Amino acid sequence: MAIPKDPYVNFNFKLEIDGIVRGAFHEVGGLDSMIDVIEHREGGENITTRKYPGQVKFSNVSLKWGMADDIDLYTWYK
């Protein structure tokens, strides 16, 4: 019985959608987020300001030096 080869064995990151590996990449960037701070001065306590978490911003994810063994990912992108 032949053992199936994994075409993504030399890659660092795999892109999995709905439990199926659709591609693999050597580099991934942009995996960070930033939370805005909202400062609020409450009445009666004017000495300090309260800081609350605001809107969360995510950067764009970039996938570099990749490959896929079918055209489904390219078709979705197109």
| Of the candidate ranges 1-15, 19-33, 52-66, the one whose mean pLDDT is the lowest | 1-15
C-alpha angle 71-62-38 in degrees, rounded to nearest 5: 135
Among 69, 77, 74, residue whose Cα is nearest residue 21: 69
Question: Whole-prediction pTM value?
Answer: 0.59
* Residue of higher predicted confidence among 26 and 7: 26
At residue 1 the predicted structure's pLDDT band, cuts being 50, 70 and 90, is low
Tell whether the model's pLDDT for residue 37 goes beyond 80. Answer: yes
Report d(CA 28, CA 15) in Å as an integer.
10
Q: What percent of the chain has pLDDT over 70?
A: 97
Pairwise CA distance, residues 77 & 71, whole Å: 10
